[in-house]
């Protein structure tokens, strides 16, 4: 499917940064900037405690809000967790699933990613499922195997008819926060691997319509060269999304 049929998505992962006051100030400053970029869907992913303030600040705008994580169950005795019902009640529309830092530091597995993806789709949340290889895995020529495994397990038991909202984010772990960025050629190859696995796990039609984002030290300077490639449908942005002007430039450059 031509890239023009898949709307660009640019997501700002704020990780564990910003207070509520700082988050609201960002949104207020960013709204007039975002209004000039109709080509892209813009999503902010703040910390859990910031979600109510960011949802309210972005109300009646085109900006959407994502949680950085969620539990797959609707409720239960799971201290410190947040359910999809709670996110929906806040006005959250998207959710990150399986971010590499969740996998690395908080024991997220391919299997829990699958449970969360099923729950997100069932509750009408747009899932942004993260996949990506470690440096050691890339150096051992295991990138293809890792991406195929993570993608196939995430999609196990998923009804192709329910996957309209599905988004995948390829984030080479070796490029996150390191200043190292996958070349456009490396990123494009990885996205093709992921798209081919979606076709095998679901259907070629779902693979053609699924947006695949690149995430890994995305900056204004490299956004255009990444987003010109047919299989790259946007970006999951970390540190460069914390400043309004920098993030706006990334959104603008993604139109290239």
Contacts of 164 (CB under 8 A, 6+ apart): 209
Q: Which of 41, 101, 133, 171 is catalytic?
A: 171
Tokens of 241: 């999304």
Tokens of 148: 């195929």
Cα distance from N-terminal residue to C-terminal residue, the chain = 18
Q: Is 39 a catalytic residue?
A: no
Tokens of 224: 């255009």
Q: Is 171 a catalytic residue?
A: yes
> CB count, 10 Å around CB of 106?
10
Helices (H), the chain: 20-34, 51-57, 84-90, 100-106, 110-122, 135-139, 143-154, 184-201, 204-209, 220-227, 244-253
* CA–CA distance, 100 with 248 (Å, rounded to integer): 25
Asked if 73 contacts 83 with a C-beta cutoff of 8 angstroms, the reply is: yes
Active site residues: 99, 171
């Amino acid at each position: 499917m031509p890239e023009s049929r898949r709307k660009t998505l640019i997501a700002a992962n704020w990780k564990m940064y910003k207070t509520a006051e700082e988050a609201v100030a960002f949104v207020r400053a960013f709204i007039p900037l975002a209004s000039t970029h109709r080509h892209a869907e813009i999503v902010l992913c703040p910390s859990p405690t910031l979600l109510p303030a960011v949802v309210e600040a972005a109300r009646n705008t085109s900006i959407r809000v994502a949680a950085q994580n969620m539990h797959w169950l609707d409720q239960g005795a799971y201290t410190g967790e947040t359910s999809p019902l709670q996110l929906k009640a806040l006005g959250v529309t998207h959710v990150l699933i399986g971010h590499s830092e969740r996998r690395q530091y908080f024991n997220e597995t391919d299997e829990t990613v699958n449970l969360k993806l099923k729950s997100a789709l069932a509750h009408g949340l747009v899932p942004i499922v993260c996949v990506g290889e470690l440096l050691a895995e890339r150096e051992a020529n295991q990138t293809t195997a890792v991406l195929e495994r993570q993608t196939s397990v995430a999609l196990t038991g998923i009804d192709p008819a329910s996957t309209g909202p599905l988004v995948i984010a390829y984030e080479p772990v070796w490029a996150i926060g390191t200043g190292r960025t996958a070349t456009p050629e490396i990123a494009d190859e990885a996205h093709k691997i992921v798209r081919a696995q979606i076709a095998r796990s679901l259907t070629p039609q779902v693979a053609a319509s699924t947006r695949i984002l690149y995430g890994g030290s995305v900056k204004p300077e490299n956004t255009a060269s990444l987003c010109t490639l047919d299989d790259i449908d946007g970006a999951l942005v970390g540190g460069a999304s914390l400043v309004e002007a920098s993030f706006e430039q990334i959104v603008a450059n993604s139109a290239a």
